Amino acid sequence: MRITPINSYSNKVNFKSRMIFDIGASDPRASMKIKYQDNNGKDLFMYKDFVNDTTKGFDNNHDFVSKIARALDIGSILDKSIASKEKQLADKNLPSARREEIESGLKEVKEKKAIYDAQSPEDKKLTGVALLLPGTIQEHVALFMANIRDKKKNSLVEIQLDDVITEAKKQGKVQFSDEFNIHDDFIPCKDLAGTGMGIAQKLVNNPEFKDRISGGLFAVGVQTGGGFGAVDIMIKGDKNCSPDDLMVETRTSEAGHDLFFDRKTGTEKRLGKMGASVSSVITNFATKFGITDPEAIKTLVATGMAQIATQREVKLANEKDAAAIKLLTESGDYEIASHDAKYSFVKLKPESEDKFNEASKYAVECYADTLALHAITKINGGANLYIISGPLAMGINSRVQEDPKLFGGKGLKDVIFRFIDERISNDVTCGILRKANRFDIICEKAMSIADNTCGGALLLSDKLKTFARRGEWLELPIKALKNATKSV
């Protein structure tokens, strides 16, 4: 667990609270990022953890709902984090570097807990909750979350999300303001709604795109992690309207479920299974590395650590990832560089460098080729920009930048364009559209969002009320987005 402070407060601050949850599916426990704010939209801190404490899946829908509801009690979460860190520090054999890391984290958590404890019960009451989920969401119902599974490995379906608030009230650990309305102040939606909002925010506030925006712009935001997600961002308006009167429309999709022919395997596959997700990056790397046993690959995928394909040293949890640590070290290609009571740092042996590079290149190129396939459909649809976002993409981009000779490009953008060129070499129309619409790919930290909590915060802004039924569409004036951005 890790708390990242955003602002530092030394005195008592009076506020009611908002919480934004970004639930991810790259780890079988369901990753959970929480942004905790005051009622004016000021960020207080970020908290990162997992919804579940086991990789075996949730018992049922109610188990998932109950654990989300329990996470609303941020005070207890902080207490749990403090206790965990203090227990780790009690280990006399803890390496000094790890001890310093834990001590620093403990200090941060205690500072946040002190802020929380200083508030009155009235100030702690929640006024808004945004819940961003990796699935199809309509009318406060999670119709389908492909990679959030039960213990039988079935995807969770038909989850009544209002039950999160009902269950939280039943648990009695967290209080809501008297004005809290479950229909207006609890906003569950597809995680890509947060992606679209976050990237749209960066677009309208980046002077580099000012001229392009004024003439109308079609951007595509792509976020890869537990799956493959894409959101269309349309900036449009009347021919002679002022820039502030332009409209921003975001539309998410289930592009990861679109079927494409995979030329590597000669079979038809869902886009999300071809190469641009955490599980497929790990699978493609492992296969090329010589790990072909299906159960062994599942063991590596269960770590949720795509860094296995891009970094020579990875940090794995001793308990959760015990099978993966054993698998890698017994392969003869890895060794334990260091370890403590909680983590082991597993490092590639120098003699396996060539093997690693070959497998890493394969995984990266599978990722790039998958994005190229999707990008071509967007070029044909008139897109101007293709913005690749998220930690997985940034990690792969860094890997390419680290060894441009190996990958044949200075960054991921170059590799994707290479595959686009290969595929559309004889497609005159696609080439014309690409040139006419000044199509470009952006893969850089300045335009990437680490998670969807920033977009979720905008959904709770007083200046921005969201859709009532559709969990994947949103339309608002640019000026509303800019004003909302200032407050969050």
Q: Residue 1 — very low, low, confident or very high, per pLDDT cuts 50/70/90?
A: very low
Task: Evaluate if residue 337 carries a pLDDT over 90.
Answer: yes
pLDDT tens digits for 12-40?
Answer: 333 478 899 999 887 889 999 999 888 77
Q: Residue 154 — very low, low, confident or very high, per pLDDT cuts 50/70/90?
A: very high
Task: Evaluate if residue 420 carries a pLDDT over 90.
Answer: yes
pLDDT value of position 8? 33
pLDDT value of position 226? 81
Share of the chain above pLDDT 70, in %: 92
**Residue 104: how many other CB atoms lie within 10 Å:** 11
pLDDT tens digits for 245-294?
Answer: 787 888 887 788 788 888 878 888 888 888 999 999 999 999 999 999 99
Pick from 112, 205, 275: nearest CA to 454: 205
Give the gyration radius of the chain's Cα atoms. 23
> Across the strands, what pairs with 114?
none
pLDDT value of position 94? 84
Q: Residue 11 — very low, low, confident or very high, per pLDDT cuts 50/70/90?
A: very low
Task: Evaluate if residue 476 carries a pLDDT over 90.
Answer: no
The rounded distance, in Å, linking the Cα atoms of 220 and 382 is 10
Q: Residue 162 — very low, low, confident or very high, per pLDDT cuts 50/70/90?
A: very high
Task: Evaluate if residue 6 carries a pLDDT over 50.
Answer: no
C-alpha distances in angstroms, 102 versus 2, 89, 93, 341? 9, 7, 14, 12
C-alpha distances in angstroms, 322 versus 267, 316, 318, 402, 414? 34, 8, 5, 30, 37
Task: List, in order of start, the domains of the chain with CATH numbers.
Answer: 2-191 (3.30.420)
Q: Residue 10 — very low, low, confident or very high, per pLDDT cuts 50/70/90?
A: very low
pLDDT tens digits for 75-134?
Answer: 999 999 999 999 999 988 888 888 898 999 999 999 989 888 887 888 889 999 999 998
Q: What are the φ and ψ backbone dihedral angles of 321, each rounded to 5 degrees? A: -105, 25
Residues 50-54 have a mean pLDDT of 91
pTM of structure: 0.81
pLDDT value of position 194? 82
Q: Residue 297 — very low, low, confident or very high, per pLDDT cuts 50/70/90?
A: very high
Pick from 60, 211, 32: nearest CA to 134: 32
Pick from 134, 129, 143, 249: nearest CA to 196: 249
* Residue 306 CA from chain centroid, whole number: 13
Better-predicted residue by pLDDT, 223 or 13? 223
What single-letter amino acid sits at 362? Y
Task: Evaluate if residue 3 carries a pLDDT over 60.
Answer: no
Better-predicted residue by pLDDT, 383 or 46? 383
Task: Evaluate if residue 5 carries a pLDDT over 60.
Answer: no
